[in-house]
């Protein structure tokens, strides 16, 4: 099955929530864990126990694993393997973006069957030009995986690039939306190329009507976005929107049962 099909089935079973695994130093400390690979692994293993088989998508943030060097990356590899083994879709939040053979190497690492870093999808940056993502698009299609391209993020620094207007009058973010829509055209029910649009961006002015793909909406919960905000940004139906919650769930650790209860509470809030 294509990634878009598998994601659709996962959302139908578990709801649209995407839960992040962000082993931030502050969270390790609040869980009473050491700031080393042992603490990282304990944190990650607890998250896998809590979330595996219970949510549509889990999103490990690669940077917090990379910060611990090769042993931290090894923990990330085990997280990806164990979550996929539980039947849970894994979105590796790596935000990779480059050109030519370098982008092809990133695609091989994160999107090719057999790579220990390959989840079901990866976040990518299109800001070297959407065309630079061609190796990732090709690898995703060949391996039944997906990508989520940054379109409009909630950080204030992003606006100077993402909301800038090109010669054709479209914003840069809209050009990313339109390129993703072209990649998804004709795929049913939704395509394999998703976008990242912050849940707190407010009136974004984007035309998403032809996207025919999923939207990852970080910022739900701890960063302030509510269900009402999601509907204001994306419309009342929220079809194809994956609200992402990380620290708002993770603050309930270190017990796996408490994390599961937090997930259930967030899921119920999305049904209101």
Annotated catalytic residue: which of 95, 163, 247, 251?
95
List, as own/partner pairs, every contact residues 48-52 make where C-beta atoms lie below 8 angstroms and the sequence separation is at least 24, other chains included. 48/79, 48/82, 48/83, 48/86, 49/256, 50/256, 50/257, 50/259, 50/260, 50/263, 51/19, 51/21, 51/83, 51/88, 51/259, 51/260, 51/263, 52/82, 52/83, 52/86, 52/87, 52/88
Question: Would residue 95 show up in a list of annotated catalytic residues for this protein?
Answer: yes
Say which residue the tokens 């053979």 belong to.
101
The DSSP code for 52 is: T
Distance CA 126, CA 69 (A): 26
Residue 78 has which token pair?
């085990």
Distance CA 91, CA 217 (A): 13
- Signed CA dihedral, 229, 246, 106, 185: sign only: negative
The DSSP code for 81 is: H
* Surface-to-core class of residue 101, CB atoms within 10 Å of its CB (0-12 exposed, 13-18 middle, 19+ buried): exposed
* Surface-to-core class of residue 228, CB atoms within 10 Å of its CB (0-12 exposed, 13-18 middle, 19+ buried): exposed
Give Cβ neighbours of residue 79 (< 8 Å, ≥ 6 apart).
21, 44, 47, 48, 60, 65, 90
The residues annotated as belonging to the active site are: 95
């Amino acid at each position: 099955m294509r990634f878009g099909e598998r994601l659709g089935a996962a959302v139908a079973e578990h709801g649209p929530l995407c839960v992040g695994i962000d082993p931030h130093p502050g969270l390790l400390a609040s869980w009473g864990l050491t700031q080393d690979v042992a603490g990282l692994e304990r944190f990650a293993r607890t998250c896998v126990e809590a979330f595996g088989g219970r949510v549509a998508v889990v999103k490990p943030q690669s940077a917090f694993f990379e910060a611990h060097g090769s042993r931290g990356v090894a923990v990330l590899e085990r997280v990806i393997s164990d979550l996929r083994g539980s039947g849970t879709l894994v979105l590796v939040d790596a935000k990779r973006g480059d050109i030519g053979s370098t982008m092809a190497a990133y695609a091989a690492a994160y999107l090719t069957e057999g790579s220990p870093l390959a989840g079901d999808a990866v976040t990518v940056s299109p800001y070297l030009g959407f065309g630079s993502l061609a190796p990732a698009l090709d690898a995703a299609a060949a391996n039944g995986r997906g990508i989520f391209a940054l379109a409009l993020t909630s950080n204030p620094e992003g606006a100077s690039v993402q909301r800038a207007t090109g010669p054709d009058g479209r914003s840069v973010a809209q050009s990313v939306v339109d390129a993703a829509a072209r990649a998804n055209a004709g795929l049913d029910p939704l395509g394999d190329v998703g976008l990242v649009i912050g849940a707190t961006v407010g009136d974004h002015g984007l035309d998403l009507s032809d996207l025919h793909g999923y939207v990852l909406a970080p910022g739900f919960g701890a960063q302030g976005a509510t269900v009402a905000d999601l509907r204001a940004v994306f419309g009342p139906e929220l079809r194809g929107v994956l609200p992402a919650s990380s620290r708002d769930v993770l603050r309930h650790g270190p017990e796996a049962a408490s994390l599961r209860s937090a997930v259930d509470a967030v899921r119920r809030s999305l049904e209101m």
